[in-house]
A = this chain, B = another copy of it.
Amino acid sequence: MKVTEMSKEVFHMTERILAFQPLTSDQAQELTTLGAEVIPADDWETATGITVIFGWHREHGPKVLQNPANTIHWIQTASAGVDYLPLDWIKAHQIRVTNASGAYSGAIAESTIGYLLYFLRGFNESVKNQAGHFWQRPARSDLGLLSNQKIVIYGTGSIGQAIANLLNGFGNYPFGVNRTGHGVTGFQGAVALADDTGLVKDADVVINAMPATSATDHYFGRDYFKHLDGLRVFVNVGRGKSVDEAALMDALLYQNVLHAALDVFETEPLPKTSRLWDYPNVIITPHQTGFAAENTLPIFGYLKDNLTSWTTDHELTVNLVDVSRGY
């Protein structure tokens, strides 16, 4: 995207990058070599003339953005979702946002396959029986094969595609749900969000990998779950706000949904008092599916590539977010 007239004055300036996201000294040196100045996170309040923010801080970030001593024209997040940013303010001030879409997709996809196998292969029961020293073999018919499940993935972007790609290795070609119903590699078909009812009625597995937008807010609620009759596994690796947790708990109770794997929640951390913790057919992980020792490198790569293209061509080439759309 070519920059607008408005922001022309910022070019050929030295970029001053506030790094909320930790950088190694080698990484900081690389940015300096590219002509930027790096401001440590601790200096967020005293530094002036900040032009770029790398990563985010829920309290400090908005203050840096609104401090008249700074001129932020670009935020490079370290996350795929950007719903926690003050998007209205960002849009009004024509600040560009690039995200870390893709950096976590491989890890999220691996965790998702893990969730499915955890329930399909009976580990859920084994773990409970192990605590009581019970050698309790399941009924053969209670265990299933991933290769044989009808799987519907909501969201066919970077995460959805990474999940589909791994499923393909199991001989499974999932269905996708996206905004327009356009086909995507690795999926056997796709429908638009508005047309999903027929598709999910006889699904075995539903996976939410959508970003949080106003269209996805509580999308998985009472009206959704009532169409399901014994869905084997519901997975949420998208955003917590997409699921009405009270409705999901009822769906689990009435067996519209048999098992759920949840990594994201309406409120995070999930409150101690939430009844979800105690559901025997639910696995809860603390927003960690994207974690892996291996995956911080790509994020720094996005910053570097964008800094280079910004400096030379006034473009942000990697993962530019449509701020109006929210992803």
Q: Does residue A107 face the partner (Cβ distance < 8 Å to B)?
A: yes
Complex contacts, A113 vs chain B, CB 8 Å? 113, 117
Give the residue name and chain of the B residue nearest to A282 (CB): B130
Q: Does residue A148 face the partner (Cβ distance < 8 Å to B)?
A: yes
Q: Does residue A137 face the partner (Cβ distance < 8 Å to B)?
A: yes
Complex contacts, A66 vs chain B, CB 8 Å? none
Give Cα distance in the complex from A292 to B274, angstroms.
34
> Would A136 and B286 count as touching, CB distance under 8 A?
yes
Q: Does residue A146 face the partner (Cβ distance < 8 Å to B)?
A: yes
Give Cα distance in the complex from A226 to B295, angstroms.
31
| Chain-B contact segment, one of A67-75, A120-128, A152-160, A250-258 | A120-128
| Chain-B contact segment, one of A43-51, A165-173, A176-184, A319-327 | A165-173
> Would B126 and A277 count as touching, CB distance under 8 A?
no
> Would A135 and B270 count as touching, CB distance under 8 A?
yes
Complex contacts, A165 vs chain B, CB 8 Å? 169
Give Cα distance in the complex from A106 to B148, angstroms.
11
Interface residues of A in 268-315 (CB under 8 A from B): 268-270, 272, 274, 277, 283-289, 291-296
A286 interface neighbour in B121, B137, B287, B289, Cβ under 8 Å: B137
Q: Does residue A213 face the partner (Cβ distance < 8 Å to B)?
A: no
Give Cα distance in the complex from A170 to B143, angstroms.
23
Give Cα distance in the complex from A142 to B323, angstroms.
33
Q: Does residue A86 face the partner (Cβ distance < 8 Å to B)?
A: no
Complex contacts, A270 vs chain B, CB 8 Å? 135
